[in-house]
Amino acid sequence: MNNRSDTWRSMMTTAVVVGATLLVLSTLHPELILRNNTPTGGDMGAHVWGPAYLRDVLLPHWRFNGWSMDWYSGFPAYRFYMVVPALMVVLVDIIVPYGIAFKIVVVAGLVAFPFCAWLMGRLARLAFPLPELMAIGATMFLYDESFTIYGGNIASTMAGEYSFSLALAFALLAFGLFARGLETGQYRAWAAVAIALSALCHGIVLIFVFGGLVIMWFMRMDRQRFKYGITTMVCAVLLSAFWVLPFLGGHAFMTDMKYEPKPAGPNESLWTMFFPLPIAWDVIILALAIAGFVGSLLRRRFLGIWMGVYTVILMVGVNVAQRQLPVIGLLWNPRLLPFVYLLRFMLALIGVYEVASFVHRSFVLERRARGEEATHSTVVGMSTNSATALLGVSALFCLIVLGFRYEQLPGGKVESKNGKTHYTWGRCRCRHRAHSQTVGHVGTSKGTRARLRTASITTSCRQCRRLVMIRHMAAAERCGRTTAN
């Protein structure tokens, strides 16, 4: 019986993680990723230059940064922008053409995100099905459309924030490895490497990862764990110091984007920043997150407690960061919001288990003979079969909702009737969404600018993409310059 249960559990884990990964990959459209052309969309076009400059100019002179006259009246290349994602592009470019290599790195953090969230839970010794539920929560975060430029989700990544999503994926691994190391003393080197990679991929995620590690460290402090935390974080600092220390030391010379701290204006408040979704969804997610936190307290589940505590600290940090921070300097405070949303989504999915476990104990177990014990691989309070069923229902519901929302379900199709276009899946139907975004200007040698509309990598409709691309190419032709998406 145990062998059969373990088999079902392994199959469900594989189905959830692989299913979430394939859903994300489908949304990103592999046929566009593997097309050798110039990536664009939002700020993406501005990043295409960097890895090529690193490959052609800096690396041949054994340098990771240097001075370039390609923009402005000269600027320090890769002094104030992260170099590791660019190095990844250069590495992949050895195997595939540059345009494809760039796009593979752009989507790598998103595609790996569900797996990293699951592995974080596994490394932290969360029992089945909690790591799998965390992977579902992380996938829901990727599809959150309440923000588009803060970083981490699909929309922000397609707007050019791909370094952020890479850093966030490494951060989840770092948290899992560090939590496991505090318990067992293992994985010191791996944790240090994951922390350093996260810090080197994005300066704002650097704040998130080191802040989270320090809180995790303090929450489990004793003599042995003090030594483990010190040695691991010092090693991570030394690995990343070649870029991080000059970056922090030169913050006085960073460009001020002149973004106004939030909340700003009569229609904004901290409340609307922390809860940007429709009221019903915000209430449900918050209630489940509270249930996940309370359940973690009662069961002494360290990772769940840490996520709840860190979420509150980050919310306070959003308010504090309205003013300039010491050492770090400029920080647009909404950039901390993705961390709040991510932890809350994952904690809410833990809350789904806690609510289901409570219902199971109250209405199912009372009808059975007492004395039944949970298996070693299952969270106390629910049998393996029940936990597997809960995971299956939760995964199926979330993936169907996301797939329908983003028109990615097998058998779904776009239909036009009476001048209106709808996406249908069986008997379900919703208005077809337009999938294009403004990407700024395309210039010419004479300085002419043309406003373009182009499809991003996330375009979900081939017909929309084809029509948008025709307009894009026509506008570019009028400018006298060919631009590929």
- pLDDT of 480: 36
Contacts for 226-235 with beta carbons within 8 Å, 24 or more apart? Answer: 228/181, 228/182, 228/185, 228/188, 229/178, 229/182, 231/188, 232/178, 232/181, 232/188, 232/191, 232/192, 232/195, 233/192, 233/195, 235/188, 235/189, 235/192
- pLDDT of 344: 95
The span from the CA of 344 to the CA of 3, in Å, is 34
The span from the CA of 146 to the CA of 149, in Å, is 10
On whether the CB atoms of residues 97 and 218 are closer than 8 A, the answer is: no
The span from the CA of 213 to the CA of 231, in Å, is 13
The span from the CA of 191 to the CA of 237, in Å, is 12
**Which residues are CB-neighbours of 485 under 8 A, at least 6 positions away?**
32, 37, 38, 39, 40, 41, 454, 455, 469, 472
- Alpha-carbon Rg for the chain in angstroms: 24
- Which class for 66: exposed (0-12), middle (13-18), buried (19 or more C-beta within 10 A)? middle
- The helix-helix angle for 98-123 and 130-142 (nearest 10°) equals 140
Cα distances from 401 to residues 16, 309, 395, 409, 446, in angstroms, run 15, 29, 10, 9, 48
Q: What does each of the 485 residues of the chain score in pLDDT, given as a tens digit?
A: 467 777 878 888 898 899 899 989 988 888 889 988 888 888 888 899 999 999 999 999 999 888 988 888 888 888 888 899 999 999 999 999 999 999 999 999 999 999 999 999 999 999 888 999 999 999 999 998 889 889 999 999 999 899 999 999 999 999 999 999 999 999 999 999 999 999 999 989 999 999 999 999 999 988 899 999 999 999 999 999 998 888 888 777 777 666 778 888 778 888 999 999 889 889 999 999 999 999 999 999 999 999 999 999 999 999 888 776 665 656 788 899 999 999 999 999 999 888 888 877 776 655 554 544 444 444 445 666 676 777 777 777 776 776 676 666 767 777 777 777 777 777 677 666 654 333 333 232 333 233 223 333 333 343 343 333 333 333 333 333 333 32
- pLDDT of 471: 34
Cα distances from 174 to residues 125, 178, 218, 306, 365, in angstroms, run 14, 6, 16, 14, 38
For 194, the token pair is 């994951």
The span from the CA of 458 to the CA of 157, in Å, is 10
On whether the CB atoms of residues 68 and 62 are closer than 8 A, the answer is: no
Provide the 8-state DSSP code for 152.
Answer: S
Which of 160, 175, 117 has the alpha carbon at shortest distance from 345? 117
Distance of CA 55 to the CA centre of its chain: 27
Distance of CA 39 to the CA centre of its chain: 20
What is the four-CA torsion angle of 139, 315, 159, 449, rounded to 10 degrees?
A: 160
- pLDDT of 323: 73
